[in-house]
Amino acid sequence: MSEFDGVHADTPVLVGAGQFSERIDESGYRALPAVELAAAAAREALSDTGVEHLAGEIDVVAGTRQFENSDPFTPAPHGRSDNFPRSVASRIGADPERAILPVTGGQSPQQLVNELAGAIAGGSHRVALICGADAVSTQQHLLKSGRQADFTERIDGQLEDRGHGLEGIVTRMIALHGLVEPASQYALAENARRARLGASRTEYARAMAELLAPFSRVAAANPHAASPVARSVEELAEPSAANRPIAEPYLRYACARDKVNQGAALLLMSAGAARRLGIDPRKWVFLAGCADLREQELLKRADLSTGPASALAVRHALELAGIGLDELTTIDLYSCFPIAVFNICDALGLAPDDPRGLTVTGGLPFFGGAGNNYSMHAIAETAQRLRARPGSFGLVGANGGIQSKYSTGLYASTPVPWREPRNAELQAEIDSEPVVAQAERADGPARIETFTVRHGSEQGVVVGRLQRDGRRFIATADPALLANDQPIGERVHVRSTPEGNRITRDEPAARTATFRRTYEHLEVRRDGALLEIAIDRPEHRNSLHPPAHAELDEVFDAFFADPGLRVAVLTGTEEVFCTGDDLAHRASGLPWWMPPRNGQGGLSAREHLPKPVIAAVNGPALDGGLEIALACHLVVADPAAEFALAQARSGQLATAAGLVRLRREIPAKLATDMLLTGRRVAAGLAHSHGLVSRLSEPGKVVETAREAASEILAASPRAIELSLRVLTDTTGIADPAEAIANPHDAYDHLVLSEDYHEGMRAHAENRRPRWRE
C-alpha cells in the first residue's frame, strides 16, 4: 500500500508548477505582454501534471497584479487587461466559476496558495489555478524603441477585485518627504539595523555583499533569471557605474530588479480530484504549514530594525509542520532588499551563509521580479526540488509592502494532513503590541532614529524622535548632516514647513510674525484696530493652493501677535468666499505639500484664537471654505451665499475639522446629510440652524461684518480675550452645569484688570468706558 493511499480526499495538493520567461536580447524574443507570459506559464503548469485536458476542471483562477495595476498612480503605457485572471484562463481553454485579483504585494502568491488550499480542504473548490507575470522589460523596451503595441483587453465575466490594499503602507506624510519608492523606506530599516549592530558603513556594505553573492550564483544557473551573472563580494560591495548608489546603504545590486519578463503558475487541487484525474502521486506536493500575518505600520513600530510579524509567520509554519529549522531542505526568503532576509535570519538564528542557501531562484536582485509575482517562481522551484527528494521540506517566505505583509508556506514531498493556521490569534498578538506616537508636524529639539540619503535627488530623509515627548516624525535633511559614519542618535533640531519637516544642526531662528507690504493671493487692509483680509484668487474661485495657505497662515500669525489689532474680518473677492483646496493644483503633478501648521486657511487647526475672527461669507463657502468659516467666531453671510462640505464627491475628506465641527454647529441629521451628499445649504437655512450668526442685506456682507466688528471693539479687550479663553477651555464639556461649575482662572484675571473696574465706573457715570487693556 502506498503512503499516498491514506491521504484524505479533501487534502490540498500542488500538482503542477510552470515558469516562462523571455529576454529582449535573446533570439526568438516576441515582446509578449504579461497576460501571454502568464498563459505560457499556466500551460507549463498543466503539462507538469503529466495529464492532458485539465483546463476544463479549473473552477477558480487567481492572478497576481502587475505593476500597472498595483496602485492608482502607475500608468499602463500599452494598455492592459481589465480582468487579468480571466484573460489568462481564456487562453488555456478554462472557464472557471470564480476569478480573483488579490491585493498588491509580494506576499500575494503564497497568500493565494494558503487561501485556496484552505478552500479546497473545506470543500468549496476542487481545482485552482494561480498565475502571475510582469512584462516591465518589454514595456520599457517598446517605449525606448518607439514601437507601438496595444495590450488592452476587455473581458466579460465575474472578477473579485480586492483593491490595492495599500492602507498603512503609502501615506501622505511618507510621500511628502520623498519616501515614494521602496528602496528609501527599506533603507531606513536597514540603517536602523546597522546602528543596532554597531557596524560601520564599510562593514555593513560587506555584510550585505556576503549575503547576496551566493544569491547571484544561484541566479547564474537559473534559465529564467533576468540577470544570470555570478558576482563577487567585492563587486557587490563597491560602487561602480553599474552598481550605482540608490538609497544609502543600498547600491544597485542590493535592490530588487523590476525590469523582467517573467511568468509563473501553480495548479492546486484536492487529493480526491488528483486521484480521479490520474495524476501520479509522485507529483503531489503538500502544504505542511502556512501563515499570513501583517506587521504594524512602518512608523508605528517600536523597533524599526526588525519585523516580528514575518518571523512569527515562519515560526508558525514550522510549528504546523512539526519540524525545526534544521530539517528544511530548501529555503527561499523574499529578498527585495537585504533587510528582508536579515530580519528572518536574526529572529530565527539562521546563518546568512547557511550551506543550504537562502534562495532557490537567485533572489529578487538577480533573478528579478520585484512586483507581486516573485514568490510564485520560488514556489515552483521549491516544488520541483522537493519532488526530486522524497521526505524533504521547503520553506517559502513571501513579503509585501515595507515588511508589511508576510505569507509563509512550508512544503513537503510526502503526505501531511492540512492544518488550518491560527492567523487571527497571532495577528491579535501583533496588533496588541504598543505603538509609537507620531508627530505629523515636528518642531523642536530631536534625535535621529534612522536615516537614508536618496541619490539622484541627493536628499536626506530622517526618522527621528522629538526630545520633549518622544513622538516619531519624518523630515528631510541636507545629506551633509548625515555624512559621518553613524548619524543615528545625534541631536538635531526639526522645524515644520508647508513642504514638510526639515532637519537642521542648530536651532532655527524663530519666525517673526509681521505683515508684508503686499501679498500675491490676498488683499490685506488695516483700519485702526480692525484687520480686513480678502482671498484674491478669483480665476480659481478663491480656492487655496500652498502659497495661498501660507500667506493666510502668515497674516493670521501677524494679526494675533499685533497688540494694536483686535478684530479680523475674512472674506473673498468677486462674490466668492472660498471653494476650499485647489484640486486642479493637487492633480497637476506638482510636489506634495503639507497644510499650514495652523490648518485650513491658517485657522482651522489653531487650538485657540485669542482675538475675534469674523467670516464675511459673500458667496459660496465650499469644502475647505466652509471649514474656514466654521473655525471663525462669527459668520456673517450674504443671502446669496451657499455652504457645503462636498469633499466626498471628489474622493476627499473634510479633514480640516469639518467632520467634527459641522455636527456641533447644526443638527446632526442635517450635518450628516451635507457630509454624505455634498448638499449645498442656502444662507437662510444655515442662519435658521445657527451656522450663520447674522444675515446681511444683499451685497452688504462686508459692511455687516464691520458693524459686528465695531460692536466687539466697543467692548472691553480684556473681557473679550478672557471670554474667548473660557469658550475654548469649556468646549469639550458636554454638561452645561459642569461647565459652569468648572473653576477657571479667567475670572480672577478679570477682577484684577483695569477694564473690570472702568466698566463698572462708566456704567455708574452713564458714559462710554475708556478701556486701558
Which pLDDT belongs to residue 507?
80
Neighbours of 707 (CB within 10 A): 13
Nearest partner of 116 among 103, 138, 98, 132, judged by Cα = 98
Of 653 and 645, more confident: 645
Which residues are CB-neighbours of 548 under 8 A, at least 6 positions away? 521, 522, 535, 537, 582
Asked if 39 and 33 count as a contact pair (C-beta separation under 8 A), the reply is no
Share of the chain above pLDDT 90, in %: 78
Lowest pLDDT segment from 145-154, 485-494, 729-738 = 729-738
Fold: same for 12-173+253-431 and 522-713? no
Which pLDDT belongs to residue 383?
98
Question: What's the whole-number mean pLDDT along residues 438-464?
Answer: 94
Which residues are CB-neighbours of 6 under 8 A, at least 6 positions away? 415
Point out which residues pair with 465 in neighbouring strands. Answer: 447, 472
Q: Which of 2.60.40.10, 3.90.226.10, 2.60.120.10, 2.40.50.140 is the CATH number of 522-713?
A: 3.90.226.10
Of 552 and 546, more confident: 552
In our burial notation (b when 16+ CB lie closer than 10 A, e otherwise), range 173-203 reads bbebbbbeebbbbbbbbbbbbbbeeebeeee
pLDDT tier at 617, thresholds 50, 70, 90: very high
Which residues are CB-neighbours of 313 under 8 A, at least 6 positions away? 291, 292, 293, 397, 406, 407, 408, 426
pLDDT tier at 771, thresholds 50, 70, 90: confident
- Entry field: residues in the chain: 773
Q: Model pTM?
A: 0.84
Cα separation, 108 vs 407, whole angstroms: 8
DSSP 719-762: HHHHHHHHHHHTTT---HHHHHHS--THHHHHHTSHHHHHHHHH
User: What is the domain partition of the chain in residue ranges?
Assistant: 12-173+253-431, 179-252, 444-504, 522-713, 717-764
Q: Exposed, middle or buried by CB within 10 Å (0-12, 13-18, 19+), for 564?
A: exposed
pLDDT tier at 593, thresholds 50, 70, 90: low
Which pLDDT belongs to residue 125?
97
Convert the pLDDT of each residue in 69-110 to its tens digit: 988 878 888 999 999 999 999 999 999 999 999 999 999 999
- Which cell numbers in the block locate residue 116? 485556496
Which pLDDT belongs to residue 171?
77
Query: Is pLDDT above 60 for 591?
Result: no
Share of the chain above pLDDT 70, in %: 94
Q: Specify the CATH class of 12-173+253-431 in words.
A: alpha beta
Query: Is pLDDT above 60 for 647?
Result: yes
- Which cell numbers in the block locate residue 512? 517673526
DSSP 201-264: HHHHHHHHHHHHHHHHHHHHT-TT-SS-----HHHHHS--SSS-EEETTEEGGGS-----EEEE
The residue type at 186: Y
Neighbours of 166 (CB within 10 A): 16
Question: What's the whole-number mean pLDDT along residues 596-622?
Answer: 92
The β-bridge relationship of strands 444-454 and 330-333 is: unpaired
Cα separation, 42 vs 130, whole angstroms: 8
Which residues are CB-neighbours of 486 under 8 A, at least 6 positions away? 195, 200
Lowest pLDDT segment from 357-371, 399-413, 666-680, 727-741 = 727-741
The CATH code that applies to domain 444-504 is 2.40.50.840
What integer best gives the mean pLDDT of the chain?
A: 92
Query: Is pLDDT above 90 for 587?
Result: no
Convert the pLDDT of each residue in 366-396 to its tens digit: 999 867 999 999 999 999 999 999 999 999 9
CA distances, 685 to each of 52, 273, 439 (Å):
73, 68, 39
Give the three-class secondary structure for 673: helix
